[in-house]
Amino acid sequence: MSSRLEGVVAPERRERSGAAVFLVWNRRLHYYLGLYLLFFSWLFVFTGLLLNHPGWEFAQFWPNRVQRTTEQQFQMPEATTDVARARDLMQQVGIAGEIQWPGAQPTDGAFAFQVSRPGAVIDVKADLRSNRVMLTRTEVNAWGVMHVLHTFTGMPAAGPRNQRDWILTTAWALSMDAVAAGLIFMVFSSYIMGYRLKAKRAGGTIALALGVVICGAFVAGLGWLMGSRPVEPQITSCPRTIMSPSLKRAVIAWAPSGMTSVTSSSTAVMDGAPSAWAGNTNVTSGMRG
Amino acid sequence: MRRLYLVTRDLHLYVGLFISPFILVFAVSVFYLVHGFAQRPAPGPLDASRTVDNLTVPPDIARMQGRARVNALRPVLDQLGVRGEIDFVRHLASEHRLIVPVRLPDRDTIITLDYDDKTATVTSRGHALADALVYLHKMPGPHNVDVRGNSPLMGAWRVLADATTYLFLFVTLSGIYLWLALKAERRVGLLLLCAGAGTVAGLVYVIAA
């Protein structure tokens, strides 16, 4: 090739190779990540199925649990914080796991907490006066382990006091993050690869559009399609509750047309059902077992 | 064999593209669940509510339990124009009231039903996209099994969630076949497969042992 053309051709060749390199590595990373995350993905997919089908007989674990209680002597921990004290105690009695604090400590002066890990939950109740600790250990089978692995993040819903405090929980949580991030990358890399296949572009677009429409309907559309609308508005005014001017303006702005008058009883709702909003499952209907 | 490869490749592509939005729902919601962002929020002080009376309420609603009560409440919800999945029912017997949270992925409604006076107070609030994703990830779930799936929404999502997992398994198996067809990538792929298996096994062993 003449030297006059080299300066013109070379940048284009570099640009093409840049794009080509990107496409090659996009494809490679798609199946490299897929292969590395394969067993992680299978684990979470299968455990997700188990969680969504608690009635599957072959995967029952709670009726088969083993419970045993032991007592041990311990040396008073010198730590000043509850977490450090609990860790010292756990080390003395040879247990490890994620610490869960109860809503309130026992009234008899005992130091109580729970240690959990996939497959075992240990209730620890230490008498700080007699230096004796009672361990109630509940162990489940492999199916129980699998159930917990899917949700073992160390971040239970109840209370700000319970935070992740075991390094292996952090490792497992990071692996969950990695699997999720890997799957997101694989999805977008598949979009690029699918777009590059011109012969398959139409079919791929239809498949993707179908998935987006169905999934999107559930995520956002159903609230719009199925949102709360009074079928036969029969609304009364309730003289017991006084509505502030700002609240009344907000209610009138929100209320659909056709409503003759609107009561404000949000305070009554909050007083009557704060636990419902907080996700409390202290229910009288629908609890399993 | 070539035909099998081409068919498998096409199915891997089309099925993968179809389930990709569902994969994104589950994957994105993982970050909220793992890092504790998925706490159920408390209602704001200015949530509007409406009270409706002269409802037709089943006479023995207070004595019902579980799914029977949930099914009996559905016509009441229809009178109130409320749609969605009944999460659970809380009975305040001394006050003759039922607290009924009704959930859509992007909307939460609380119905306080006085079954003696035949009145109900309805309070509703919207949820952010992240809350909707987290809700869909968790549903139907292992809790309140007796009442779960009481709405067409949740019945359909239960099927879709299952379909996503089975189709995902197909995509992984077809992906393995497509990788095996790439002779040049077999060694590296096998190393990565073994590394991934070892990582999973090692982590599970140290966590659960």
User: Which residues in chain B touch residue A208, judged by CB atoms under 8 angstroms apart?
Assistant: 17-18, 20-21
Of A48, A171, A288, the CB nearest to B145: A288
**ipTM for the complex?**
0.90
- B49·A233 Cβ contact <8 A: no
Q: Which residue of A has its CA nearest to B101?
A: A276
Tokens found for residue A235 = 């609304």
pLDDT over 90 (residue A258):
no
Is the model more confident about A165 or about A191? A191
The 10 Å CB-count burial string (b at 16+, else e) for A104-134 is eeeeeeebbbbbbbbbbbbbbbbbeeeeebe
pLDDT at res. A16: 63
Quote the mean pLDDT of chain A. 76
pLDDT over 80 (residue A222):
no
Q: What is the least distance, in Å, from the CA of B58 to any CA of chain A?
A: 16
- B45·A208 Cβ contact <8 A: no
User: Helices B129-138 and B2-34: crossing angle, nearest 10°?
Assistant: 110
Please tell me the distance from the alpha carbon of residue B6 to that of residue A278, in angstroms, as a whole number: 52
Q: What is the least distance, in Å, from the CA of B150 to any CA of chain A?
A: 11
Q: What is the least distance, in Å, from the CA of A189 to any CA of chain B?
A: 11
Q: What is the least distance, in Å, from the CA of B3 to any CA of chain A?
A: 16
Q: What's the burial of A250, exposed, middle or buried (CB within 10 Å: 0-12/13-18/19+)?
A: middle
User: Which residues in chain A touch residue B15, judged by CB atoms under 8 angstroms apart?
Assistant: 207
- B39·A157 Cβ contact <8 A: yes
Please tell me the distance from the alpha carbon of residue B117 to that of residue A232, in angstroms, as a whole number: 18
- B153·A222 Cβ contact <8 A: yes
- A38·B193 Cβ contact <8 A: yes
Tokens found for residue A202 = 């139409």
Q: What is the amino acid identity at position A67?
A: Q
Q: What values do phi and psi take at A259, rounded to 5? A: -80, 130
Count the neighbouring beta carbons within 10 Å of the beta carbon of residue A31: 20
pLDDT over 70 (residue A277):
no
Q: A187: pLDDT confidence band, cut at 50, 70 and 90?
A: very high
Q: Which residue of A has its CA nearest to B201?
A: A39
Q: Which residue of B has its CA nearest to A279?
A: B40
Q: Which residue of A has its CA nearest to B135?
A: A219
Mean pLDDT of A81-100: 91
Of B50, B160, B185, the CB nearest to A235: B50
Say which residues have a Cβ less than 8 Å from residue A38's Cβ, sequence separation at least 6: B172, B176, B193, B196, B197
Per-residue pLDDT of chain B (209 residues; tens, 9 = 90+): 889 999 999 999 999 999 999 999 999 999 999 887 765 555 444 467 899 999 999 989 999 999 999 999 999 999 999 999 999 999 999 999 999 999 999 888 999 999 999 999 999 888 888 889 999 999 999 988 888 999 988 999 999 999 999 999 999 999 999 999 999 999 999 999 999 999 999 999 999 87
Residues A122-137 have pLDDT tens digits of: 999 999 888 899 999 9
